[in-house]
């Protein structure tokens, strides 16, 4: 720009080079609005320009110091990518969670750790929460006649991904909202999901503000005023009685250990071939690296999650050298993470062998499952998990935990019946 043009740059309705830019739409208000916004924040905007070469704009905004600590790699990377929904910010996010006991959701994800996290984030709403560990399981639930206010669908899953799952569900005539859960939120992704039958998407790790906005729009705002008022009155009457979502405990650690062990075996099987890798190999590799990226982020292992993201990208781009060289050290670190997270066995002297108590709690779980009362089943299971049990009983509890995570009540009842028959 010339000096004369710079002098008029921030005037309202000013546009330059109209002949050269005749196909460009606009009112000439953009720079004026920008300057006003900067001034409202107590800042300044300046410009340096040379005609025919280019322009450089500088914005200076006053910023108070939050503390004297080092910013850190994760925060710096998030700022660089204009991502402000990190875990640290989520913890302090001010979100008003309206009670929604009238609502029901289905969470579809092949990574158990992700389901635990999603359930924990949705627990304060009082929703009826169901889950499925694959696209096939989700389709079976829909075939069985179940309908939800919202289905939260993982984008990348083995065998059948989220997009293909949604395509099949829509072909069955299912019209209720489906929202994608994706750890690959990039520009243009929204259009891809909307054109594939989704009603929106949420980035992983889940930002509580995004989740709250989705639940408000697709669950709360569709209810008549009298239903909302009744839900609020019920929540007020129970204030102080309801327990908050429990913090991650042994079940969460067990789920991560299962997820990580499954992915470790899959990644090791691919990389052991040392290339060349087939298209099927790379797809399997990419999906499992992707799953570990989100699972590791959920447990706070950000550096290892970043390593998984790099391997995912290597698999996606077919970079055999990066796959072969980068995977072994990642697998070694993943084994260490599994060892760190895996529940530690109690000393043999502390094993509880009270068969009557164990049987009684199993019957409580069985009765709760027959009534589709997941809360009561979880409570009885938690009582049992406070103690160490003999190997067979301990294995049964692990299986019950996994089945209840996916709301497989009938399978839980069958497993308990089989155990009780065998112990008679």
pLDDT at residue 398, as a whole number:
80
Are 207 and 277 contained in the same domain? no
Are 146 and 216 contained in the same domain? yes
Write out the chain in H/E/C secondary structure: CCHHHHHHCCCCCCCCCCCCCCCCCCCCCHHHHHHHHHHHCCCEEEEEEECCCEEEEEEECCCCCCCCCCCCHHHHHHHHCCCCCCHHHHHCCCCCCCCCCCCEEEEECCCHHHHHHHHHHHHHHCCEEEEECCHHHHHHHHHCCCCCCEEEEECCCCCCCHHHHHHHHHHCCCCCCEEEEECCCCCCHHHHHHCCCCCCEEECCCCHHHHHHHHHHHCHHHCCHHHHHHHHHHHHHCCCCCCCCCCCCHHHHHHHHHHHHHHHHHHHHHHCCCCCCCHHHHHHHHHHHHHHHHHHHHCCCHHHHHHHHHHHHHHHHCCHHHHHHHHHHHHHHHHHHHHHHCCCCCCHHHECCCHHHHHHHHHHHHHHHHCCCHHHHHHHHHHHCCCECCHHHHHHHHHHHHHHHCCCHHHHHHHHHHHHHHCC
Q: How many angstroms from the chain centroid is the CA of residue 301?
A: 15
Q: What percent of the chain is modeled with pLDDT above 90?
A: 34
pLDDT at residue 72, as a whole number:
59
Q: In this structure, is residue 411 part of a structural domain?
A: yes
pLDDT at residue 189, as a whole number:
63
Are 190 and 140 contained in the same domain? yes
Are 114 and 230 contained in the same domain? yes
Q: In this structure, is residue 412 part of a structural domain?
A: yes
Indicate whether 200 pLDDT > 70.
Answer: yes
For the residues 263-278, what does the mean pLDDT come to?
A: 89
Q: In this structure, is residue 242 part of a structural domain?
A: no
Q: Where a domain ends, among 341, 374, 395?
A: 341
Are 122 and 103 contained in the same domain? yes
What confidence tier does 270 reach under pLDDT thresholds 50, 70, 90?
very high
Longest CA–CA span in the chain (Å) reads 95
Residue 152, domain extent: 97-236
For the residues 247-269, what does the mean pLDDT come to?
A: 81
- The CATH number assigned to the domain holding 133 equals 3.40.50.2300
Are 150 and 222 contained in the same domain? yes
What confidence tier does 68 reach under pLDDT thresholds 50, 70, 90?
low
pLDDT in tens, 345-375: 544 457 888 888 998 999 999 998 888 777 7
Are 356 and 299 contained in the same domain? no
Are 266 and 282 contained in the same domain? yes
Taking the whole predicted model, whether its pTM rises above 0.85 is answered as: no
Q: Where a domain ends, among 283, 307, 341?
A: 341
Q: In this structure, is residue 66 part of a structural domain?
A: no
- How many domains does the chain fold into? 4
- The CATH number assigned to the domain holding 31 equals 3.30.565.10
Q: Where a domain ends, among 341, 363, 391?
A: 341
What confidence tier does 98 reach under pLDDT thresholds 50, 70, 90?
very high
Are 107 and 205 contained in the same domain? yes
What confidence tier does 52 reach under pLDDT thresholds 50, 70, 90?
confident
Q: In this structure, is residue 380 part of a structural domain?
A: yes
pLDDT in tens, 309-331: 999 999 989 999 999 999 999 99
For the residues 84-96, what does the mean pLDDT come to?
A: 52
pLDDT at residue 378, as a whole number:
81
pLDDT at residue 23, as a whole number:
42
Are 206 and 227 contained in the same domain? yes
pLDDT at residue 20, as a whole number:
47
Q: In this structure, is residue 304 part of a structural domain?
A: yes
Q: In this structure, is residue 84 part of a structural domain?
A: no
Are 173 and 264 contained in the same domain? no
pLDDT in tens, 374-417: 778 888 888 888 888 888 888 888 888 877 776 778 888 988 98
pLDDT at residue 87, as a whole number:
43
pLDDT in tens, 106-145: 999 998 888 988 988 898 899 999 999 899 999 999 998 8
Cβ atoms within 10 Å, residue 328: 12
pLDDT at residue 91, as a whole number:
45
pLDDT at residue 246, as a whole number:
47
| Average pLDDT score over the chain | 82
pLDDT at residue 333, as a whole number:
92
Q: In this structure, is residue 91 part of a structural domain?
A: no
Are 355 and 327 contained in the same domain? no
pLDDT at residue 100, as a whole number:
95
pLDDT at residue 15, as a whole number:
55
């Amino acid at each position: 720009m010339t000096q004369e043009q710079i002098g008029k740059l921030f005037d309202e309705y000013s546009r330059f080079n109209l002949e050269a830019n005749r196909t460009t739409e606009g009112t000439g208000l953009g720079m004026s609005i920008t300057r006003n916004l900067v001034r409202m924040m107590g800042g300044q905007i300046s410009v340096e320009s040379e005609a025919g070469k280019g322009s450089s704009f500088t914005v200076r905004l006053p910023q108070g110091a939050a503390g004297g600590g080092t910013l850190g790699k994760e925060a710096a990377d998030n700022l660089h990518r204009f991502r402000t929904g990190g875990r640290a910010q989520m913890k302090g996010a001010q979100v008003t969670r309206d009670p929604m006991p009238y609502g029901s959701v289905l969470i579809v994800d092949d990574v158990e750790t992700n389901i635990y996290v999603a359930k924990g984030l949705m627990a304060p709403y009082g929703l009826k929460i169901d889950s499925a560990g694959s696209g096939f399981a989700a389709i079976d639930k829909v075939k069985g006649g179940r309908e939800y206010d919202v289905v939260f669908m993982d984008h990348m899953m083995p065998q059948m991904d989220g997009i293909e799952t949604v395509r099949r569900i829509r072909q069955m005539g299912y019209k209720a909202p489906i929202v994608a859960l994706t750890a690959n939120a990039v520009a243009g992704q929204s259009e891809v999901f909307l054109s594939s039958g989704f009603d929106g998407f949420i980035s992983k790790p889940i930002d509580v503000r995004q989740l709250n906005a989705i639940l408000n729009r697709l669950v709360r705002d569709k209810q008549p005023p009298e239903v909302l008022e009744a839900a609020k009155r019920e929540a007020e009457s129970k204030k102080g009685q309801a327990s908050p979502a429990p913090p991650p405990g042994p079940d969460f650690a067990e789920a991560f250990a299962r997820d990580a062990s499954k992915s470790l075996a899959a990644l090791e099987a691919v990389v052991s071939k040392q290339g060349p890798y087939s298209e099927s190999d790379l797809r399997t590799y990419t999906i499992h690296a992707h799953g570990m990226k989100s699972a590791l982020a959920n447990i706070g292992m950000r550096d290892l999650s970043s390593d998984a993201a790099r391997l995912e990208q290597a698999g996606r781009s077919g970079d055999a050298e990066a796959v072969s060289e980068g995977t072994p050290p990642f697998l070694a670190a993943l084994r260490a993470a599994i060892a760190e997270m895996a529940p530690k066995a109690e000393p043999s002297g502390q094993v509880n062998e009270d068969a009557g108590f164990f049987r009684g709690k199993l019957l409580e779980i069985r009765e709760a499952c027959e009534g589709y009362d997941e809360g009561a089943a979880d409570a009885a299971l938690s009582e049992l998990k406070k103690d160490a049990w003999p190997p067979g009983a301990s294995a049964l509890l692990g299986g019950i935990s996994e089945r209840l995570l996916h709301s497989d009540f009938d399978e839980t009842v069958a497993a308990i019946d089989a155990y009780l028959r065998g112990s008679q």
